[in-house]
Structure 1
Amino acid sequence: MFFRNLTLFRFSPAISNDLDRLDEALGDHRLRPCGPLEMGTKGFVPPVGRGDEAPLTHAVKACTMVTVGGEDKLLPGSVVNDELQRRVQKIAEEEGRKVGGRERKRIKEDVLNELVPRAFIRSSRQRAYVDKKNGWLVLDTSSRKSAENTLTQIREALGSFPAVPLAPEEGPRVLMTDWLANGNLPAGLALGDEVELRDPASATGAIAKCRRQDLDGEEVKEHLRNGKQVFQLGLTFDERMSFVLGEDLIVRKLKFLDVVTEELGDSHPDAAAEADATFTLLTLEVERLLGKLEEWFGLPRPAEA
């Protein structure tokens, strides 16, 4: 249940009250099986447990987790085009005529109607939780598109959910470059062993990526002297978690260190108790980190809905 990435949105205190009906609202938006001629479906699935009777939310104190599930048919375009071309060529050979655009379109529809029901189905799961006390929507993904799709599902279920992207008052790229170049890291924060540096002068500027490297070394400093800035930076927070922070303020490669995971223990009576303990620990640790991100970069919580 530990998240591996954090994509973040914020919402106002007024919205927090509306989230009390989240479990009820999701009931009409459960994931249903993909129909024979459908390419995909999306809906909510239980974050903990399985079956139609399992709840669609899992709450600990002010934090509530949801999971958006998906079923997508795997039908490569090349397979459709190959079958279409085979049928068009067969008509040309047997009937001695050229297939027009309208007929070609009809043949393609026939191909899809035959192949879609036989396509393999790929299942997906996207976890997220809302922190009603602090106004965070936290998604376990580094993909902005996936995050937006999940946010759309929540909005459709609630009717409205005006969570907004982060609006930092301090430029992340400038601040992280200062951390790396001058060692001006906030208390509790330490450099990791990964960085991505880019020349900000143009979109096609030089890029330097370093992994498993001493970030205080001369090679990194030389890139900084040549004008490159930090776009992603490996960090350790309070010796409890490591991650890579991007200039988009997406937290990637999140890993809780042994001192955290050892606090879980292994004496949980059942799966539900273990899920409660893990989610509690996750949200407490992430709450501390997000509070610091809010402080370092100036991430205001919306005042109104």
Structure 2
Amino acid sequence: MFFRNLTLFRFSPAVAEDLNRLDEALAEHRLRPCGPLEMGTKGFVPPVGRGEEAALTHAVKACTLVTVGSEDKLLPAAVVNDELQRKVQKIAEEEGRKVGGRERKRIKEDLLTELLPRAFVRSSRLSTYVDKRHGWLVLDTSSRKSAENALTQIREALGSFPAVPLAPEEGPRVLMTDWLATGNLPGGLTLGDECELRDPATATGAIARCRRQELDSEEVKEHLRNGKQVFQLGLVFDDRMSFVLGEDLVVRKLKFLDVVMDEMGDSHQDAAAEMDASFALLTLELERLLGKLEEWFGLPRPADG
């Protein structure tokens, strides 16, 4: 269950206290199957196990894992429009008249009623956890839209959840550009093998993407001398995890290295024990990384008040 991407929000100590009722609050927002005439449903699903009796949270120390789920009907607009056109054409041929806008709308609504019960259903899951001790909300996605949707679901369940986006005191783009240009990285941090450089002067400026390449090469330095800045940078932290850090401070392509995976072992008795071990290891590793991100970029935790 190791996360592959990290989109981060922060919350205050007072908000952390309110999260003690998370398990109770989620119970009233459990994901239910799509009804015949519904386009989709959203809710929470058990991180471990299945069924109505399975818990909707999984906690290890101060961290609580939550899984946001959705079911969406797959009914492409092109399919509906093609069927609508056939019906409109049939009316024109059989009755010798044009179909007006109001009638087309009614026919389309009837089509949706007819087609929705037969549409395929796509399920999706997004894992997230709250670290109540340090005030982090961590979502396993690089999509801002998906993260905001999941955050909205948690807010609806709790009634209020004032988690806020990161507000760095140090400009990530400037700081990462300096790391790459000088090779002077914080302790424990080394360059990976990919980056994305852009000319920040214009929205349509040149973009240079490097993958599987030595980032201290002359070619990369030439881009920096020409005024490009770092928008994404591959990094390795303490030889335990690699990732690509964006100027939006979203962590992408997160990968735990062999030394971490070896600590997991493979002697777990059941799925619950395996989940417990992997979640504990995940949160322990990320606690160290997030603490360093807070230090490097100045990411203050919101204060109560």
Match of 1:235 in 2: 235
Cα separation, 2, equivalents of 1:213 and 1:72 = 40
**Letter aligned with residue 204 of structure 2:** T
Cα separation, 2, equivalents of 1:212 and 1:51 = 44
Cα separation, 2, equivalents of 1:304 and 1:118 = 50
Root mean square deviation, CA, Å:
0.6
Match of 1:77 in 2: 77
Deviation at 1:19, TM superposition (A): 0.4
What pairs up with 1:199-218 in 2 under 5 angstroms?
199-218=199-218
Deviation at 1:184, TM superposition (A): 1.4
Deviation at 1:169, TM superposition (A): 0.2
Match of 1:277 in 2: 277
Deviation at 1:81, TM superposition (A): 0.3
Match of 1:267 in 2: 267
SS of 1:255's equivalent in the other structure is: strand
Cα separation, 1, equivalents of 2:220 and 2:92 = 63
Match of 2:179 in 1: 179
The alignment's TM-score, normalised by the length of structure 1, stands at: 0.99
Q: For each residue in 1:178-215, what CA deviation from the matched residue of structure 2 results, as whole angstroms up to 9, or x when unmatched?
A: 00001110000000000000000111111111100010
SS of 2:263's equivalent in the other structure is: coil
Deviation at 1:104, TM superposition (A): 0.6
Q: For each residue in 1:45-98, what CA deviation from the matched residue of structure 2 results, as whole angstroms up to 9, or x when unmatched?
A: 000111110000000000000001110000100000000000000011111101
Cα separation, 2, equivalents of 1:200 and 1:234 = 19
Match of 1:304 in 2: 304
Match of 2:62 in 1: 62
Q: Is structure 2 residue 118 aligned with structure 1 residue 118?
A: yes
Cα separation, 1, equivalents of 2:270 and 2:126 = 24
Deviation at 1:301, TM superposition (A): 0.1
Match of 1:46 in 2: 46
Cα separation, 2, equivalents of 1:188 and 1:180 = 15
* TM superposition outliers: structure 1 runs of 4+ over 6 Å: none
**Letter aligned with residue 157 of structure 1:** A
SS of 2:215's equivalent in the other structure is: coil
Cα separation, 2, equivalents of 1:172 and 1:138 = 19
Match of 1:37 in 2: 37
Deviation at 1:100, TM superposition (A): 0.5
**Letter aligned with residue 235 of structure 2:** L
Deviation at 1:21, TM superposition (A): 0.5
Equivalenced residues, count: 305
SS of 1:262's equivalent in the other structure is: helix
SS of 1:263's equivalent in the other structure is: helix
SS of 1:167's equivalent in the other structure is: coil
Cα separation, 1, equivalents of 2:90 and 2:70 = 37
Deviation at 1:218, TM superposition (A): 1.2
SS of 2:264's equivalent in the other structure is: coil
Unaligned runs of 5+ in 2: none
Match of 1:157 in 2: 157
Unaligned runs of 5+ in 1: none
**Letter aligned with residue 271 of structure 1:** A
Match of 2:146 in 1: 146
Cα separation, 2, equivalents of 1:108 and 1:209 = 46
Cα separation, 2, equivalents of 1:39 and 1:304 = 40
**Letter aligned with residue 34 of structure 1:** C
The alignment's TM-score, normalised by the length of structure 2, stands at: 0.99
Q: For each residue in 1:151-189, what CA deviation from the matched residue of structure 2 results, as whole angstroms up to 9, or x when unmatched?
A: 000000000000000000000000000000011100000
Deviation at 1:268, TM superposition (A): 1.1
